[in-house]
């Protein structure tokens, strides 16, 4: 029997056969209730992975869970605020008990206080972004990577941003966290390379998600990508990337646009 699934990673008028690139693998995707995280979770479920959905909004997670199950995939969700060490350690322990191990970790959860220069950023806003975007990634790696090292196998994907490569005059705190993501990712990759664990990242530019809702101008350039495009890149890093590809970031924004803005914006 052939299952014809629609996991939202291709055009609406097409469908996706349940494949097995990630069969028997367990993937943990943070911030998977919407946007990029949801699309990555759907894509990995479409390739046969057992997907652990995590985030702060259990209502959103439940909706994604139902989408995956209705399409024939395997999934479960756990509430997890990545800024809380207790919640991270507890959720990862439960996921490991539930499925035995975690083979793929996608650190996607992130927040932004937009349109505010770094010198006007409040201390509470700075701390909140650092706790979620940078410390949250570290905490998840801290509790997942040792089991990958013990098995001598695993894949970590950290979601960076074009803001981690292009200096930001606005949203400076967000940019600072993403520069940190790049630094941590490359350091982690080097340290676990001898143990068979690959660590890479994705740098999206402007992506059509809730975070950028209402900001997409008419005639926006190709860097206004869809979350599904990011999911394709995540699948590449998980299932298709060369075995020795680690410590690398794939830039998913206009290579010739150094302004940090979509074409037509100043």
Backbone angles phi, psi at 235, to 5 degrees: -65, -40
174 is catalytic: yes
Tokens in use for 104?
Answer: 């793929």
| End-to-end CA gap in the chain | 54
Backbone angles phi, psi at 38, to 5 degrees: -60, -45
Per DSSP, helices labelled H in 28-57 are 35-46
Q: Which of 99, 174, 249, 253 is catalytic?
A: 174
Instruction: Select from 177, 179, 197 the least CA-distant residue to 246.
Output: 197
Per DSSP, helices labelled H in the chain are 35-46, 58-70, 85-99, 123-129, 136-151, 172-192, 227-235
Query: Which residues are tagged catalytic?
Result: 174
């Amino acid at each position: 029997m052939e299952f014809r699934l629609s996991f939202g990673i291709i055009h609406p008028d097409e469908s996706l056969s349940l494949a097995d690139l990630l069969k028997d693998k367990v993937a943990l995707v943070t911030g998977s209730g919407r946007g990029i995280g949801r699309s990555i979770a759907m894509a990995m479920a479409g390739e046969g992975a057992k997907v652990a959905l995590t985030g702060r909004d259990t209502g959103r997670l439940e909706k994604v869970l139902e989408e995956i199950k209705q399409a024939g995939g395997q999934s479960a969700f756990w509430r997890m605020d990545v800024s809380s060490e207790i919640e991270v350690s507890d959720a990862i322990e439960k996921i490991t008990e539930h499925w035995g191990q975690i083979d793929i970790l996608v650190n996607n959860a992130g927040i932004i206080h937009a349109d505010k220069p770094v010198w006007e950023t409040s201390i509470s806003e700075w701390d909140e972004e650092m706790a979620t975007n940078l410390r949250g990634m570290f905490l998840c790696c801290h509790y997942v990577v040792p089991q990958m090292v013990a098995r001598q196998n695993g894949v970590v994907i950290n979601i960076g941003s074009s803001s981690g490569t292009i200096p930001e005059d606005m949203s400076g705190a967000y940019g600072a966290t993403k520069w940190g993501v790049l630094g941590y990712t490359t350091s982690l990759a080097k340290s676990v390379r001898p143990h068979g664990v690959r660590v890479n990242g994705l740098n999206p530019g402007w992506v059509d998600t809730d975070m950028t809702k209402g900001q997409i101008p008419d005639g926006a350039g190709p860097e206004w990508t869809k979350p599904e495009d990011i999911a394709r890149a995540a699948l590449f890093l998980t299932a298709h990337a060369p075995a020795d590809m680690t410590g690398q970031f794939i830039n998913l924004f206009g290579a010739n646009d150094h302004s940090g803005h979509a074409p037509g914006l100043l």
